[in-house]
Amino acid sequence: MINTDLSKGYVDIPFEGSDVREEIERLKKEQNAVVLAHYYAEPEIQDIADFVGDSLALAQWAKKTSADVIVMCGVHFMGETAKILCPDRKVLVPDLNAGCSLADSCDAEAFGEFVRNNPDHTVISYVNTTAAVKFHTDIVVTSSNARQIVESLPAEEKIIFGPDRNLGNYINSITGRSMRLWDGACHVHEKFSLEKILDLKKQYPDAKVLAHPECKKVILTVADHIGSTAALLNFAVNDDASTFIVATESGILHEMQKKCPQKTFIPAPPMDSTCACNECNFMRLNTLQKLYNTLRYELPEIQVDENIRERAKLPIERMLEISAELGL
Ligand code: 13P
Ligand code: SF4
């Protein structure tokens, strides 16, 4: 009997065939499964996925797919978002340990209290949150649409924004709003070194700096372009510069390099150069072996409590509706 025990958070059965990629393709067809991957996933995962995108695109794809099985090669909240939108589908993740330090920086109970203490505020939550935090939310945003969604609200509207303080401060600075912020952050984006980026700028004076808005303000100050992973990729494709220093998780360099083989992309270094801190250890838990087992055994599956799902769906749907109206 095969042991599909999930005590490790994933099915730990060694692959014994000869070609794991071929087997993944076969299983995708057999199960009518779609594999979605975030730009931060390992290059080999991105290459085998049916769609690669940013958080907004992954939610949009999950909502429109006709596949019976959705495999989310991202992190847990991305799988949860897909399940919230598609309760009748099987949503699988290769490894349940793929969490998110930013989502973890926002405890749902404490966030609920923050909301209750600010009763006259509209609650905006970044998609990098658990379903339980989305339960307390009026509108979800991603870094692709946060600015436009905030600007779509009346100027006098009082807003709570959580959990990313860097994204929240950035949105406040470009919209002139004064949203009340939750004090959370991502461990990858907080670690980029300004000194090392400036050293690289000396070495490559024509290079442009691309930064994700989850980075600290000092990094955003030296950025030529700030945006979501998809926006940074788009900028790199369309801009005339030939060299870019990229201050976000380094997985995005794979798609940048694929789309622009003639350009040079340099990952922004973290403060501690002895670690690979510009890699999200959670995203990197998704491997071909685990993806194979996920498809083969249809495990681990994302489950969301139905009461939470019904309520958490509202702010996600609202985000998707506003994004569609805005053409995002
Ligand atoms: P994007 O929405 O830009 O894909 O960002 C997701 C994320 O987790 C950033 O750390
Ligand atoms: Fe979460 Fe940061 Fe990883 Fe993005 S890079 S998934 S915010 S821990």
pLDDT 10s digits, 152-166: 999 999 999 999 999
Instruction: Return the pLDDT at 273.
Output: 73
Atom 2 (ligand 2) nearest CA:
186
Residue among 238, 236, 249, 242 at smallest CA distance from 264? 242
Residues 294-315, mean pLDDT to the nearest whole number: 98
In this predicted structure, the answer to whether residue 2 has a pLDDT above a threshold of 80 is: no
Question: For the domain that residue 57 is a member of, what is the CATH number?
Answer: 3.40.50.10800
Looking at residue 148, what is its pLDDT? 97
- Closest residue to atom 5 of ligand 2, CA basis: 280
How many domains does the chain contain in total? 3
CA of 127 to the centre of ligand 1 (A): 9
Give bridge partners of residue 33 from the DSSP assignment: 69
Q: Which atom of ligand 1 is nearest to the CA of 127?
A: 2
300 & 322 share domain: no
Residues 255 and 111 grouped into a single domain: no
Helix (H, G, I), strand (E, B) or coil at 18: coil
317 and 249 co-located in one domain: no
Do 40 and 53 share a domain, yes or no? Answer: yes
Mean pLDDT of 272-280: 80
Within this chain, do residues 182 and 193 fall inside the same structural domain, yes or no?
no
pLDDT single digits (tens) 12-38: 999 999 999 999 999 999 999 999 999
Residue 207: give the domain boundaries. 189-267
Buried b (16+ CB within 10 A) or exposed e, 1-23: eeeeeeeebbbeeeeeeeebeeb
275 pLDDT exceeds 90?
no
The verdict on 196 and 237 lying in the same domain is yes
Reported as a single tens digit per residue, the pLDDT across 236-260 is 999 999 999 999 999 999 999 999 9
Same-domain pairing of 67 and 27: yes
Same domain, 171 and 143: yes
Is there a single domain that holds both residue 142 and residue 287?
no
| Mean per-residue pLDDT over the chain, rounded | 97
Instruction: State whether 246 and 221 are in the same domain.
Output: yes
User: Per-residue pLDDT for 209 more than 80?
Assistant: yes
